[in-house]
Chains A and B, each alone.
Chain A
Amino acid sequence: MIRFSSLTKRYGPLTAVRELSLEVRPGEVYALLGPNGAGKTTALRCLATLLHPSAGTASVAGVDVTADPVGARRNLAFLAASMGLYERLSARELITYFGRLHGMDEARLSGRVDDLVDLFGIRGFADRLCGRLSTGQRQRVSLARALVHDPPALILDEPTLGLDILSGRTIYDFIARERAAGKAILFSTHQMEEVDLLADRVGVLGGGVLVAEGTAEQLMQRTGAPNLARAFLALVAGAADR
């Protein structure tokens, strides 16, 4: 569903991501772990067609992100930590706007917006401007916005950054529900407990390179660490030494 094939991204003389290859299957949650500046955001932005890979490629639902970026976008939802809401649109207007950008016809869109409003408990503030919503409410609107076109792949860049425990819970529930619906989910994070809770598989990025990949247990076994946090530190330290 989501595939990176030897993807490299350079900014002038610096290489942010080097020959990244990984795959996320339908119904699978894949966590991309890495310290600050490891290249997680760059990799996800390449997949979301925001950045052009310098070499290699990536695809979503079989659509190459470089050859057909617009086609790839139809199959993905990208959720950044900033949530990206328009302050002077109401929650309903915002979800409808993105539905229209995805080319949905008005009759289908209207029904879809109503479904999402109910699914994420937005009805009570659906007609309030996004600028007047609380963080938790904004987050629910943001999730509804991402799902409006019901894409098969979800890309979440540090989705719980800056959220309290309750709001974080909403994200966890969302990921679990979408996995059950057969979506391929790729998310980046620093939070080991998130990985423990949600991820089927983990990839560790260090210095732009995928230094390890597997289930949490496999990574712990490989490093001999008692938990994922220690395993992560060992893998990242190993990458830095190289």
Chain B
Amino acid sequence: MSAWRVVAAKELRETLRDRRTLLMMVVIPVLLYPVLLIVMEQLLLFGQRNLEAEPAPVAVVGQSAPALIEILEREDGLRLVEIGEDPEAAVRADSVGAVALLGEEEPGDGTRPVTLLYDAASDRSNRARGELTAALRAWGDSALGDRLDARGLPRTFAEPVAIADSSIARPDEVGGYALGRILPLLLVVITLLGAFYPAIDLAAGEKERGTLETLLTAPVPPRAVVAGKFVTVALIGVIAAGLNLGSMILTFQTGALQLTAAIGLEVSLPWSAVLAIFVTLVPLAVLFGAVFLGIAVGASSFKEAQNALTPVYMVVLVPAMLPAFPGIDFGPGLALTPVAGVAFFFRDLMTGEADAALGALVLVSTTLYALAALAFAARAFGNERVLFGGGEAEVDARAVGPLAWLRARRGALGVPSSSAVLLFVSFVAVAFFWVGIRLQVSLGESGLLAAEWLLLLTPAVAFVVFGGFDPVRTLSLRRPTRTGVAGGMILIAGAMPLVWVLGWLQTFVLPVPWEMLEGLEQLVTADSAGRLAWLLLLLAVTPALCEEAVFRGVLLGGTGEAEPWRRVVLNGVVFGLFHLSFETVIRFLPAATLGMVIAWAVLRTGSIWVGVLMHFLNNGAIVVLASTPGVREYFSDPEAPPPLWLVPVAAVLVWAGARVLQRPAAAAGADTSNSSHDP
């Protein structure tokens, strides 16, 4: 038997002995959803019957209307009650469901105003309103009939057009339509849940139990281990989804739900559609299995893997929910969108409107995504840093006191762990958002200065000092080499125009927030030498020091367990998010790109000072350009296209800067890189 089959057979056997997986794979799909649906329906019907069991109490206040009273007394579903002088209090006290406040009839054949007083937040009151409205309509119809009779006109005189609905949809088509709104999401979620726990157990669980080391010393290549594990995870996902699909269809088709029958819904999916759904579930389960395995293997424990995968779960839910929204047409764009394509194809299969070409596109694209995810998982399993944490995972178990939590997250290198750092950055972002904005509103530009120094730099320094972390390693406080400085300057000189082009390109898809941009322009424009110096301090020197300490310092230093490219991307994304505002997302992409460029330079040079310099040059250039008459007008229009010649020049500068930074001489402290240290 080939190695991957040996691994798969063992994993499947072990997984099927796990109660938690069985619960997710069999009990929830097969029993829980149908039982929940039936119970919910019964509760709904019970409540409805309960409400209708008694006549709704109603009252009439105001001008007398004997004909109305007569109708109300005749209606079985109504009970006319007397109320006091305050109708609103009576409705609030629930002594009456709805009250008709009758106004005075206009002279001649005028209109009598009637106000219906009811409580929209009460089921009883809503029902009473419905009954009372029907009675009032009957009264109105009767009064209209009397007027027409008095003039010798036929009753049809007041009804020149008679409208009747006639849907061409058969009951089974309506059933498919209703099913197509709910079932795709459920199927995606069940497939995801089916793969979720086995993936964690087979990757992070194996690390936590200490069996991964043993497994990887067997003469089996990592790809065979991944293949075996992944086949198990995908198979369980497919089984869970298949069982759920069968269970849901049986629940609807056997008439277990009374409500569907009562409203004329028929659910009868053709077997060809069921088969197509099942076939599409396979690559979806493969995709989930591979993504989850690849992520979970980077976690050191079951709990950590759960934390890492929960955001993925949430992200997957969004495209899976799209078919429930009206007005979204399924086209090639959506077919190529991971998860969304599958969910929309399911919807169309259920409504009987599936397009074979789009279905093929969904199948092929999902299979390709699944293969890419599989390659990612295989790479993660072959990466010793992912498997064994790069020797930096040991913690200082001697830490005690209130800082024990923080210090317990100090790796052997004396840098904080990624969890501690992400928590810190979240805290700083929230504090900057709530307190920083208030400071800016109340103190203006001085408030911005205070916010940067007090809410960014100070917490970053406090975090390193009180956390007991190595400041040099955490904040990359190494003296840069000349090569590193030169490389950083060339790189930022090229990156600035490219970011400008990027900002211009995104104006084609994102609305330009003119008011905000005008405010920004005013802020960065100096009209005197003194003002220019102040703006350079406020907008160039201060962010270069304070923001770099948080992002290229603590955040970059504390994510050292991850691969470099992940650190750079994460750094840019968090930096971009930090620059988001309520009004627009237009600053995200340029800020994130700059963040990534600077993070890469700091990583290459090992010195935060290169990042500080690059950040200063970028912001300082904006202030100087905005303060230069003649240039200012050109730069202040985000929709104005940048000169085309700038793109190749910038690209050459970026390339040259990157080449310089890749030279060994660019790395600060290269002479200390061989220092011996306890792993």
Contact = CB atoms under 8 A, between A and B. Distances in A.
Interface of A: 10-18, 36-39, 41-42, 45, 48-52, 70-71, 73-74, 76-78, 80, 82-89, 93, 97-98, 100-103, 129, 145, 207-209
Nearest to A101: B218
A12 B218 contact: no
B217 A49 contact: yes
Interface stretch (B175-183, B205-213, B327-335): B205-213
Contacts of B7: 101
B678 A82 contact: no
Contact of A15 (B214, B387, B676): B676
Contacts of B412: 14, 37
A11 B210 contact: no
Contacts of A38: 678
Interface string B62-78: 00000000000000000
A98 B677 contact: no
Contacts of B663: none
Interface stretch (B11-19, B250-258, B491-499, B590-598): B11-19
Given A51-B384, A51-B388, A84 B677 contact: no
Range class of the B interface residue count? 35 or more
Interface stretch (B35-43, B164-172, B529-537, B667-675): B667-675
B677 A82 contact: no
A88 B14 contact: yes
Contacts of A74: 219
Interface stretch (B389-397, B420-428, B574-582): B389-397
Closest CB pairs A-B (n = 7): A82-B210, A37-B678, A84-B214, A16-B679, A14-B677, A101-B218, A11-B391
A72 to B, nearest CB: 8
B676 A37 contact: no
Contact of B6 (A42, A100, A129): A100
Interface in B8-28: 10, 13-14, 17-18
24 contacts: A11-B391, A13-B672, A13-B675, A15-B674, A15-B676, A15-B677, A37-B394, A39-B679, A42-B679, A48-B217, A49-B217, A50-B384, A70-B219, A77-B217, A78-B213, A84-B212, A84-B213, A84-B215, A86-B10, A86-B211, A100-B6, A101-B3, A103-B219, A208-B677
B364 interface: no
B214 A14 contact: no
B101 interface: no
A45 B676 CA distance: 18
A14 B391 contact: yes
Nearest to A100: B6
Given A76-B217, A84-B210, A12 B560 contact: yes
A89 B1 contact: no
A11 B672 contact: no
Given A11-B391, A80-B210, 5 more contacts: A11-B390, A50-B388, A73-B218, A87-B209, A103-B219
A50 B679 contact: no
B220 A11 contact: no
Contacts of A12: 390, 392, 413, 560
A52 B7 CA distance: 24
A41 B679 contact: yes
B221 interface: yes
Nearest to B669: A13
Contacts of A101: 3, 6-7, 215, 218-220
Contact of B218 (A36, A88, A98): A98
B216 interface: yes
Contacts of A145: 214
A33 B216 CA distance: 25
Contacts of A16: 391, 677-679
A45 B673 contact: no
Contacts of A70: 219-221
Nearest to B385: A11
B676 A207 contact: yes
A129 B19 CA distance: 14
Contacts of B18: 88
B3 to A, nearest CB: 6
A83 B13 contact: no
Q: Which of A13, A39, A70, A208 has the most CB of B within 10 A?
A: A13
Contacts of B219: 70-71, 73-74, 101-103
B474 to A, nearest CB: 13
A114 B391 CA distance: 39
A78 B564 CA distance: 31
A112 to B, nearest CB: 15
Nearest to A49: B217
B678 A207 contact: yes
A11 B217 contact: no
A129 B18 CA distance: 12
Contacts of B387: 50
A214 to B, nearest CB: 22
A86 B13 CA distance: 11
B453 to A, nearest CB: 31
Interface string B643-674: 00000000000000000000000000100111
Contacts of A71: 219
Q: Which of A41, A49, A71, A100 has the most CB of B within 10 A?
A: A100
Given A50-B388, A102-B218, A86 B14 contact: yes
Q: Which of A12, A15, A42, A74 has the most CB of B within 10 A?
A: A12
A80 B388 contact: no
B216 A50 contact: yes
Nearest to B224: A101
B13 A89 contact: yes
A147 to B, nearest CB: 13
Q: Which of B217, B672, B673 has the most CB of A within 10 A?
A: B217
Interface string B127-138: 000000000000
A11 B392 contact: yes
A78 B391 contact: no
Contacts of B10: 86, 89, 93, 97
A14 B675 contact: yes
Nearest to B390: A11
Contacts of A84: 209-215
B17 A88 contact: yes
A39 B212 CA distance: 20
B673 A13 contact: yes
A151 to B, nearest CB: 10
A186 B669 CA distance: 36
Q: Which of A14, A48, A71, A83 has the most CB of B within 10 A?
A: A14
Nearest to A142: B214
A208 B210 CA distance: 24
Contacts of A15: 674-677
